[in-house]
């Protein structure tokens, strides 16, 4: 498969992820607008059904990720996440010269996902829903946010290694298991950092928000450092554990 | 082993292959040999078409059934 086709597949896959995942978070905030959050830690997500709001958002991510893995998994590998691409490269499973094109495709796809979500919903998607952007919640420090993102992405990559990369894994389950894993992680980490686990997933909404004057870029390093550190550690640890 | 199709026609001919689908023994006249593309890889790795193909031998009956699609 040519690199250009795989580039396009990664772009489309990340577009689907960002349109439907962060889109669900933005819609939740828009539905919750007007209701009174019970405490400052509750910014609106959680006003409707408590932790159930995060479960619903997590399920939107889970289904989108499963759909992408099953649809383009054989074409591009469906990384749809620079942290996953970098972890596979770090463990010598992905060629160095294809890392940059994959990440560029993921960033473009994520940006298109946010911009087209904005085009579908309107200005309140950004002003109320923030386009589903991630940011540390009140009381969460920069360091805590990086740690939470690293731990969340560690689990994601650890599962990818076990259910997909390891040749002993039973075939056919990767999409379902990885999607549900991300959904589960979001339920716990969502109200800490927004649970990005993916620099591209945060980049798209940040860029979309920038277009309407909302600047969240000061938090972007959290969503680069945390996911990449977590994913690389998980890949190396899995390799160590799985070796005879 | 004898060719099943020849035997049905009342002839006797040694089989040179076995159909991979139905297991029938077939002679050179009643087999179809095709080269199949082989793809390797699955999530999270892109699939690659291998340079070498794999030969597949089927009887004419199974071949025509597959080609109906």
What is the CB neighbour count within 10 angstroms for residue B1? 11
Distance from CA of A239 to the nearest CA of B (A): 16
**Contact call for A164 and B39, based on CB within 8 A:** no
CATH code: domain of residue A149? 1.20.1080.10
Radius of gyration from C-alpha coordinates of chain A:
17
* HSE-CB for B17 with a 13 A CA cutoff: 17
**Contact call for B46 and A88, based on CB within 8 A:** no
Compute the distance between CA of residue A90 and CA of residue A195 in angstroms, rounded to an integer: 23
Q: What does the pLDDT average to over A166-192?
A: 95
pLDDT of residue A50: 84
Q: Find the range with the poorest average confidence among A43-47, A64-68, A153-157, A223-227.
A: A43-47
Q: What percent of chain A has pLDDT over 70?
A: 100
**Contact call for B41 and A74, based on CB within 8 A:** yes
Query: How high is the mean pLDDT of chain A?
Result: 95
Q: What are phi and psi of B48, to 5 degrees?
A: -125, 140
Is the predicted pLDDT of residue B4 greater than 80, yes or no?
yes
**Contact call for B44 and A175, based on CB within 8 A:** no
B40 CB within 8 Å of a chain A CB: no
Instruction: Assess contact for A89 and B44: CB atoms under 8 A.
Output: no
Q: What does the pLDDT average to over A95-99?
A: 96
Q: Which domain holds residue A28?
A: 3-242
* HSE-CB for A55 with a 13 A CA cutoff: 5
3-state secondary structure of B26: strand
This prediction has a pTM of: 0.87
B47-62 residue pLDDT tens: 888 989 999 999 999 9
Q: What percent of chain B has pLDDT over 70?
A: 99
Q: Which domain holds residue B47?
A: 4-67
B48 CB within 8 Å of a chain A CB: yes
Q: Find the range with the poorest average confidence among A18-22, A175-179, B55-59.
A: B55-59
* HSE-CB for A196 with a 13 A CA cutoff: 36
Instruction: Assess contact for A123 and A212: CB atoms under 8 A.
Output: yes
**Contact call for B43 and A93, based on CB within 8 A:** no
Q: What does the pLDDT average to over A127-135?
A: 96
Query: Predicted confidence band at B69 (pLDDT cuts at 50, 70, 90)?
Result: low
Strand-pair partners of B36: B54
> A16: which 2 tokens?
């689907």
Number of domains chain B contains:
1
Distance from CA of B55 to the nearest CA of A (A): 22
* HSE-CB for A164 with a 13 A CA cutoff: 30
Number of domains chain A contains:
1
């Amino acid at each position: 498969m040519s690199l250009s086709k795989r580039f396009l597949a990664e772009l489309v896959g990340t577009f689907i992820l960002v349109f439907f995942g962060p889109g669900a978070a933005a819609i939740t905030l828009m539905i919750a607008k007007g209701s009174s959050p019970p405490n400052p830690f509750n910014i609106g997500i959680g006003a409707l059904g408590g932790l159930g709001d995060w479960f619903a958002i997590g399920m939107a991510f889970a289904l989108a990720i499963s759909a992408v893995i099953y649809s383009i998994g054989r074409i591009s590998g469906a990384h749809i996440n620079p942290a996953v691409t970098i972890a596979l490269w770090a463990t010598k499973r992905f060629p160095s010269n294809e890392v940059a094109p994959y990440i560029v495709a993921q960033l473009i796809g994520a940006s298109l996902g946010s911009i087209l979500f904005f085009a579908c919903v309107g200005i309140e998607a950004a002003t109320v829903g923030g386009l589903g952007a991630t940011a540390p919640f009140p009381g969460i420090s920069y360091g805590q946010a990086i740690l939470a993102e690293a731990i969340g992405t560690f689990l994601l990559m650890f599962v990818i290694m076990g259910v997909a990369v390891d040749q002993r894994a039973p075939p056919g389950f990767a999409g379902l298991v990885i999607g549900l894993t991300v959904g589960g992680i979001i339920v716990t980490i969502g109200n800490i950092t927004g649970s990005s686990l993916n620099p591209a997933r945060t980049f798209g909404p940040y860029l979309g928000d920038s277009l309407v004057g909302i600047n969240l870029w000061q938090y972007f390093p959290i969503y680069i450092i945390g996911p990449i550190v977590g994913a690389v550690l998980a890949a190396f640890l899995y390799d160590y554990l799985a070796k005879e | 082993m004898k060719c099943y199709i020849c035997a049905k026609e009342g002839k006797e001919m040694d089989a040179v292959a076995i159909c991979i689908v139905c297991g029938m023994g077939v002679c050179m006249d009643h087999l179809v040999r095709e080269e199949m593309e082989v793809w390797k890889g699955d999530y999270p790795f892109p699939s690659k078409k291998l340079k070498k193909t794999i030969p597949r031998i089927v009887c004419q009956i199974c071949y025509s059934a597959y080609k109906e699609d």
